[in-house]
Amino acid sequence: MRSCDGLDLPERNPNPVFVLSPSGEVVFANPASATLLRAWQAEPGAPLPPERRSLVEEARAPGGREAAVGERWFRFLAVEADARLHVYGHDVTDARRSADCLQACQGLATLGALLPAVAHDFNQVLSILLNTAELLSLEPGTAVERACGEEIREVCARASWLTHQLLVASGRRAPRVEDVDLAELVRRSEPLVRRLAAPGVHVLCHAPARAVRARADSGALFHVLLNLVTNALRALDGAGLLLIRAEQGPDGAPRLRVVDTGPGVPSAALPHIFEPGFTTRPSEGAGLGLSTALHAVRRCGGDIHVDTTPGEGTTVTVTLQAVPE
């Protein structure tokens, strides 16, 4: 058994513990340090690489020093004793994820508090535009002028619908399960999706002429669709195909499908994608999108299923309850 001064407590520690000599050699390392030292290209009996030595020297400071080791984060504390540097590591990955989730939730709460006031002002602007369009329609004019007035009314109606859906999704309107036409949802969302997509992304929206009726909260469902589209666009990374489809499944159940031709979800990550805070792209989000989407869909009696093939793409299917005949 490797030990330090005859004590075996560090051996049993589930966290990395290692000791450096005054010259920087690793004179002791417990079993939990093995993965860490491999990642640092170090081993017992050999000097720690200079950049790693600098890191553990900084860990002498109060509170220690945090650093990434592969996909995990550790906080290191270093204490000098008997002319040697004793280094203790603690995995703080889950704590950092929780803190990121909390920060994201606080940001969303702030945005949600501001949204009603912004929506009110925005709706006032829409009202002015709509009234102007109505006045134009009353005045005799050319066919082009009448067409422009009609286009303004249509755009204002679509903007008002988007504002309402965002207010519902933010929790500033009471959720209400009602009859929703998934085909109409796809058609109304298409202009926004196209604006979100990069020029290299080919967007296809399939909404059949016949209504695809489901029982759902329209605002929450709009939010779910935006979450799925955002994830798909991140996976495509500026190039590929994004397909959004409203349809009835083989069993007659209404469903939304979001398909992308991105790299797919890694098999190791697939079981965790609905966990709050889990993300394969830490720099692009807090990992709350899919967990909140699943919660919203299940509240309506539906479910979300993910099919993915590494290197080929991902299909996310939202299945909802049908409207009783």
44-90 confidence digits (pLDDT tens): 888 888 888 888 888 888 888 888 888 788 999 999 888 888 999 88
pTM of the predicted protein model: 0.54
Residue 241's H or E segment, with its range, is strand 240-248
* 124 within 8 A of 115, measured Cβ to Cβ: no
DSSP-derived 3-state class of residue 153:
helix
Are 166 and 147 found together in one domain? Answer: yes
Q: Please count the other Cβ atoms lying within 10 Å of the Cβ belonging to residue 315.
A: 16
Does some domain include residue 38?
Answer: yes
Q: Domain span at residue 42?
A: 9-91
292-303 confidence digits (pLDDT tens): 788 889 888 899
Given 3-state DSSP classes, what are the helix, strand and coil percentages for the chain, each rounded to the nearest 5? 45, 25, 30
134-192 confidence digits (pLDDT tens): 766 666 667 777 777 777 777 777 777 667 666 665 555 556 788 999 999 999 889 88
User: Cα separation of 2 and 164, whole Å?
Assistant: 65
* C-beta pairs of 37-44 under 8 Å, 24+ apart in sequence: 39/69, 39/70, 40/69, 44/2, 44/18
Does some domain include residue 4?
Answer: no
Does some domain include residue 148?
Answer: yes
DSSP-derived 3-state class of residue 162:
helix
Are 279 and 227 found together in one domain? Answer: yes
- C-alpha angle 284/286/288, rounded to 5°? 120
> Would you state the structure tokens that stand for residue 208, as one six-digit string?
């059949």
Are 227 and 276 found together in one domain? Answer: yes
- In angstroms, the Cα distances linking 5 to 37, 77, 95, 224, 260 are 21, 20, 33, 58, 58
pLDDT for 38 beyond 90: no
Are 256 and 307 found together in one domain? Answer: yes
Are 281 and 201 found together in one domain? Answer: yes
